[in-house]
Structure 1
């Protein structure tokens, strides 16, 4: 095993990040330096450039800009208020009611918008001040918002599941979408349990119990928003349209909903399009750069070397999955989710498939693992959004965040070692 390419890759990437180089450029330059170990400068530079371009030449990736745009339309279109009102009638009277409303609304919003950032932004700005006025500490509110926002990355439609499908070499997007439901809901329920216990311990006051009439009324108001899930996921699972076509339908549906709710007009539409274009550009540059690094890894036989090294440690599935989970938890602390999925899927997937693990199951393990990284410094994007909206500091949020963070790890290990939690729904639908 040749350790020089691996050392060049790791050291160059860490050095570039530490001096403030943007992540996408750090990835691309590290890939170039790794290839220079074996080939001259000009062929290496040409190859990296080509791989950035060809890495984006995928029909499946068209779904990402559409889902990003539909997420922006949903965020600005008054969807969050309808979902919060519905969630309030269901769990508002329980201990930690507002925290539970935040988690349930984030699950619904994340599932519809497909973005943890959009969910954290919407829930934090709407529910944050309300929680504070009811006596909840802003740090507790921020911690709940940060962790619950990530559940929408598991509950479909989810851009990162599409990215994993690409990185895995063709895992079914429909199967991945269905596989994310139970893990996402399980994680949300565990977060709700911890938030409720914490709120009871701190003596936060209970909300009023909603009447059946109010529950029915808010549910009817939320139906148009929730119906999008049926349209998008139902259409994909039944084969009426592909994930890419579903993403375009999601844009039209969310635009229509925003117009009906009178939250979107010709005045704010250009800004929505601009915001979604900026997000799309960032994501696509990350994907292109990550694909160039994936190619460099394959060229230097790094995935095969790591696979051999891991299997030489043990051929016990439980032990290998534990090692991979620990490595991914470490990776998630320092790397954003999209490049991490694109770079590490080709490395770890061959290892777990040799042990008999289903690629769809491993995809859910990887996504939930990296969701935890979004809640941790120094590059936890959702952490920074949640802290910024709550107008507090990371240091103050750490204490209430820790129990929620630990329960996410518990959920990760349950999903890792009980495959049926991920695979039952895809099997029911024959995927």
Structure 2
């Protein structure tokens, strides 16, 4: 066995072994990388250099602003206004409470950019609302968790920013195009969840409540628009070229602060230090992960792992459909075991060259990868959104995971649509940019 093969097995094997032993993923990455550096005789100072290099990115400055924007909007009272607007918009349809759950997550996802934040903020309100209309608590919780994945597809999403950083070593990816590409996939996921919710409501004979009222709908939109404007500032600013991603995110933070303090009045000046504390804790985890993963991705490139994986796949088959299935399975399986941001950083340099060799766009891979890993957030053993759903509902994780099986299937349908029919969403970034 060659030195390269042994080093590759050591890197991947030690990492996976530590993950299975429930060692924090940052330590798993660092330990496996350091061992391989020593094995290959590379100066360990390269590890520190890669840490700094990975964090030395102007684009990365947008991440703390997006996290802060989500915290300010969540604390500012935007949650209730979005649920009220969603209720007026779709609450009168059969399965209205479930529909409201899905639509509210679509809107809130554009503000929070996080599945976990979506589930934690909207979950208690939505689950109670659905139970009052006759839905089972487990179904309500599962739908809340599934719809929260819209939050990482609908822009602005910090995970998409991280993807552009990870792809930079292979090709340049426009964050504006990636943001625009996220809207239709978010809508596709919403539609398949709403169809399943309609089927479930009809099967369980959940009564229809209320009627559509155009005036009430316009009034509720008027209250919700202040929060939604933060998203428009980011997306419109980036695609028109008025702002860079970082500048638009900073402007959105200022707007979110004004809205939370003076319009929705959800928090006061004395609450701001606590909000910044939450942001700092979240940001610290993200930045350490990005920094440490620099050495891991450096070793993957040094050992030519992308080339090895690509050669192995094309030796098995040259059928594009089969290769895409295998890549999706790889992302789904690893998404069940490792945190999302970490996997984006590690998998992108490996999968992107294969993806592009099939004649597919890196924007397409960004969407498919985010949805794949988003499903991983809902699966044991490390699904953070699954843990949050269990905490807010009081239902054991094992029971929730079992009840999630139909939702996995429904989300799988959305994944297949986005994988094999990229023009279903690629038309928007191509037309606008």
| Same-fold call, TM cutoff 0.5 | yes
Distance in 1 between residues matched to 2:114 and 2:184, nearest whole Å: 18
Aligned length, in residue pairs: 427
- Partner residue in 2 for 1:313: 316
For the 8 Å contact 1:119–1:149, the answer to whether it is kept is: yes
- The alignment status of 1:330 with 2:329, answered yes or no, reads no
Match of 2:421 among 398, 402, 418: 418
Q: Give the deviation of 1:35 after TM superposition.
A: 2.7
| Aligned-residue offset at 1:90 | 1.3
* Equivalent residue in structure 2 for 1:15, among 8, 14, 17: 17
Instruction: Specify the SS of the correspondent of 2:269.
Output: coil
Query: Cα deviations across residues 142-164 of structure 1 (Å, max 9, x unaligned)?
Result: 10110100111111001011111
Distance in 2, Cα, partners of 1:125 & 1:16? 34
Report the Cα distance in structure 2 between the residues aligned to 1:146 and 1:99, rounded to whole angstroms.
12
- The residue correspondences of 1:21-40 to structure 2 (distance < 5 A) are 21-39=23-41
Pairing partner for 2:216 from 214, 220, 223: 214
TM-superposed deviation, 1:399: 4.1
SS in 2 for 1:129: helix
SS in 2 for 1:334: coil
Q: Which residue in the other structure is 2:75 paired with?
A: 76
The separation in 2 between residues aligned to 1:372 and 1:415, in whole angstroms, is 14
1:361 aligned onto 2:364? yes
Q: Is the 8 A contact 2:30 2:292 kept in 1?
A: yes
8 Å Cα contact 2:79-2:121 kept in structure 1: yes
Deviation at 1:29, TM superposition (A): 1.2
Give the secondary structure class of the aligned counterpart of 1:258.
Answer: helix
Q: After superposition, what is the alpha-carbon deviation per residue over 1:34-86, rounded to whole angstroms, capped at 9, x for unaligned? A: 3333115xx1x321122112211100001001100110001111011100000
Deviation string 1:263-310 (CA, Å, 9 cap, x unpaired) is 121121111000011000011111111222101111122122111111
Over residues 209-244 of structure 1, what are the superposed CA-to-partner deviations in whole Å (9 max), with x where a residue is unaligned?
142221111111111112222221011000000111
Q: Unaligned stretches of 5+ in structure 2?
A: none
Task: Give the Cα separation in 2 of the matches to 1:218 and 1:70.
Answer: 22
Structure 1 unmatched ranges of 5 or more: none
Q: Distance in 2 between matches of 1:34 and 1:206?
A: 61
How does 1:19-418 map onto structure 2 within 5 Å? 19-39=21-41, 43=43, 45-169=44-168, 170-260=172-262, 261-418=264-421
- For the residue of structure 1 that corresponds to 2:79, the secondary structure is helix
Q: Separation in 2 of the partners of 1:398 and 1:69?
A: 31
Deviations along 1:90-139, one digit per CA (max 9) or x if unpaired, are 11122221111111101100112211111111111222222223322211
| 1:382-427 Cα distance to aligned partner (Å, 9 max, x none) | 1111121111112222344222211111111111111112310111
Query: Residues 168-225 of structure 1, C-alpha deviation per residue, up to 9 Å, x if partnerless?
Result: 1120000100111111110111111112211221222322114222111111111111
Give the Cα separation in 2 of the matches to 1:33 and 1:308: 26
| Aligned-partner Cα distance in 2 for 1:94–1:396 | 29
Over the aligned positions, Cα root-mean-square deviation in angstroms equals 1.4
TM-score by length of 1: 0.96
4+ long deviations beyond 4 Å: none
Cα distance in 2 between the residues matched to 1:346 and 1:352: 10
TM-score scaled to structure 2, two decimals? 0.96
